[in-house]
Amino acid sequence: MAEQQRVSVEVAGRRLAVSNLDKVMYPATETTKGEVLNYYARVAPTLLAHLARRPVTRIRWPHGVEGASFFEKNLPSGVPAWLPSVTISSHGRNPEDHPERDRVVYPLVLDLADLTYLVNLASLELHVPQWQVDDSGQPRDPDRLVIDLDPGSGAGLRECAQVALWVRPHLEAMGLTATVPVTSGSKGMQVYAALPGTHSADDIRALAQQLAQEMTKTHPDLVVWKMTKSLRPGKVLLDWSQNTAAKTTISPYSLRGKVAPYVAAPRTWDEVERGAAAEGPLGQLLLDEVLARLDERGDLAGALLP
């Protein structure tokens, strides 16, 4: 009967029913759904700023991380009328330019009630594009660039850290000085850069692709820009495609659906330097570690906020 338990709570002025709080979502650490909800409630003052006005794609694990999962873009069935949403084409463009079948009704996460409602549906991972919507619900131009560093077999986070250190000065030479490294909570990491001025998604994607190609030429023993699997063992894929308008990336401060409750966690460049030199640990961070770091250091990704 515990699996069916429902508790009524008031969140951000809304009355919500949360359920199955004792369900174990991460068996390796015995982390329960109630603890997942607690993490998201505590991190919300920071996380909400990174989700603001961005259509949110979720990955849901109804039976915990050892069970099946699925991506969900559209609003789930039965959502309350107050949950904000926006209609976007599946191409990340104006929905009026595409037929009905290409339109997706995404939720927006603007306050703690919105966040709690979706997390209660076992939405452990929250993925967002590199752009926001305007007041009329239309996609704006991207406000950030992201380089996703994905290690192939035989490579790891240390190699990603080294590549991140090579990427940083290239971005700064382009005038992108507000850069933030984020350990992904999975295998690799991302390097974000805030975009000053106005740039189209196509232009930013092309810029990121050019950077990936240049890095591959300069560091062919460690970097690869093509996704071909046979090219990737022992190397780091510099994935430029995350800047495509229709693509999404795990949001900073989102949990991951891995063996343990790891988080996409912003890091300092000093941590990355020490990790690349094997002078200090640069492991993926758990939810309690991220909460402690927020208390001590504040939002290390604050430079990315528009």
- When pLDDT is cut at 50, 70 and 90, the band that residue 290 belongs to is very high
Q: What is the DSSP string of 47-107?
A: HHHHHTT---EEEE-TT-TTS--EEE-SPPTT--TTS-EEEEETTSS-GGGS-GGGEEEEE
Query: Which residue has tokens 């604050």?
Result: 302
Fold of 2-128: DNA primase, PRIM domain (3.90.920)
Q: Tell me: the pLDDT tens digits for 187-209?
A: 999 999 999 988 999 999 999 99
Region of residue 30 (phi > 0: left; psi between -120 and 50: alpha; otherwise: beta): left
- Calculate ∠ Cα 80-83-84, nearest 5°: 145
- When pLDDT is cut at 50, 70 and 90, the band that residue 94 belongs to is low
Give the domain ranges of the chain.
Answer: 2-128, 144-247+265-283
AA letter at 41: A
Q: Is the pLDDT reported for residue 2 higher than 80?
A: no
What is the rounded CA–CA span in Å between residue 53 and residue 9?
25
**CATH of the domain spanning 144-247+265-283:** 3.30.70.3300
Model pLDDT, residue 275? 94
pTM: 0.94
The closest of 111, 109, 112, 108 to 37, measured between CA atoms, is: 112
What is the rounded CA–CA span in Å between residue 170 and residue 182?
17
Q: What is the DSSP string of 268-281?
A: -HHHHHHHHTTSS-
2-128 and 144-247+265-283, same CATH topology: no
Beta bridge partners of 144: 194
- When pLDDT is cut at 50, 70 and 90, the band that residue 1 belongs to is very low
Q: Tell me: the pLDDT tens digits for 251-289?
A: 999 999 999 999 999 999 999 999 999 877 789 999 999
